[in-house]
Amino acid sequence: MPSTKEMLNRIYGLLYKNFGPQHWWPGETPFEVMVGAILTQNTSWGNVEKAISNLKRAEVLEPQKLLKLPTTKLAEFIRPAGYFNIKTKRLRNFLKFFMESYDGSVKKMEAVSLSKLREELLSVNGVGRETADSILLYALDKPIFVCDTYTYRILTRHNLCGEEADYDELQSIFMDNLPEDVKLFNEYHALMVRVGKEFCKPKPACEGCPLKILF
DNA sequence: GACCAGGCACATC
DNA sequence: GATGTGCATGGT
């Protein structure tokens, strides 16, 4: 029985060989990544893209401009991303935090330590662990591993964790067994989403998946 | 029409 | 502390 470390290396190798580099996050600027991270909560990326292009077309994809928008207008723009009422609130909560604590400056945010930033992000209503970690890794290049529903399926289906594993446990499995490397964390998570979208369905589970390690 | 998608907060027990 | 539920659009 290979060690967890060995399994994680095999999985990464297979994913990279099959799919190559993913060039994540699919956003042009760190701020766009932050907005996308909130909009993609439990939502397919295609719908998020529609919402983001609405914001771009209206030329409001900047923290100050988004905050100035009337709530109804903002909701209208992000409507395609689903849950638009609650996401309007969440986005505004984040924007307020971003403006009040960091003047809307990515540079100022980057200067703060990972643990302090993570705590601050998690204190924003509407920003949970996955969203916070996505912002930290993909917008701010901080070394933290992002987990999600695909991560969960891949780990459980390869017997790397139990069905009851929560987010922190999934994250520890990666962070305790991989070198602390922003580039690796970035690519690994992106590759899991890539294979996940295609093959890690609830059912039929794993059909045709190139990751045929244990199942 | 059913099922799914890169979660999260909140109510209730 | 655990378990259940609301939130909503768009693609397959």
- What does the pLDDT look like over A165-190, one tens digit per residue? 999 999 999 999 999 999 999 999 99
3-class secondary-structure state, position A98:
helix
Q: Considering the entire predicted model, what is its pTM?
A: 0.97
Contact (CB, 8 A) for A139 and A25: yes
- pLDDT tens-place string over residues A54-68: 999 999 999 999 999
How many whole angstroms separate alpha carbon A53 and alpha carbon A149? 25
Smallest CA–C1' separation from A164, nucleotide: C2
Query: Which of the 66-125 residues on chain A come under 7 Å of nucleic strand C at their beta carbon?
Result: 79-80, 82-87
Protein contacts on strand B: list nucleotides below 7 Å from a Cβ: 3-10
How many whole angstroms separate alpha carbon A197 and alpha carbon A192? 8
Look up residue A8 and give its two tokens. 């994680």
How many whole angstroms separate alpha carbon A56 and alpha carbon A29? 12
For chain A, percent of residues with pLDDT exceeding 90: 96
Within 7 Å: CB of A26 and strand C?
no
Distance A6 CA to B11 C1' (A): 43
**The pLDDT of residue A44:** 97
Cβ atoms within 10 Å of A204's Cβ, excluding its own = 8
Distance A200 CA to B1 C1' (A): 23
Protein contacts on strand C: list nucleotides below 7 Å from a Cβ: 6-11
Distance A166 CA to B13 C1' (A): 22
Smallest CA–C1' separation from A86, nucleotide: C7
Smallest CA–C1' separation from A132, nucleotide: B7
Q: Where are the alpha helices (DSSP H) in chain A?
A: 4-19, 30-39, 45-57, 63-68, 71-78, 84-102, 106-110, 114-122, 129-134, 149-157, 167-175, 182-199
- pLDDT tens-place string over residues A102-127: 999 999 999 999 999 999 999 999 99
For chain A, percent of residues with pLDDT exceeding 70: 100
How many whole angstroms separate alpha carbon A203 and alpha carbon A49? 26
Cβ atoms within 10 Å of A48's Cβ, excluding its own = 24
Within 7 Å: CB of A123 and strand B?
no
Within 7 Å: CB of A126 and strand B?
yes
Residues 6+ apart with CB under 8 A from A211: A11, A14, A15, A154, A158, A195, A199
Distance A2 CA to C9 C1' (A): 43
Smallest CA–C1' separation from A49, nucleotide: C10
How many whole angstroms separate alpha carbon A131 and alpha carbon A64? 21
List the Cα angle A85/A153/A132 in 5-degree steps: 45
Query: Would you list the DSSP string of A33-44?
Result: HHHHHHHTTTS-
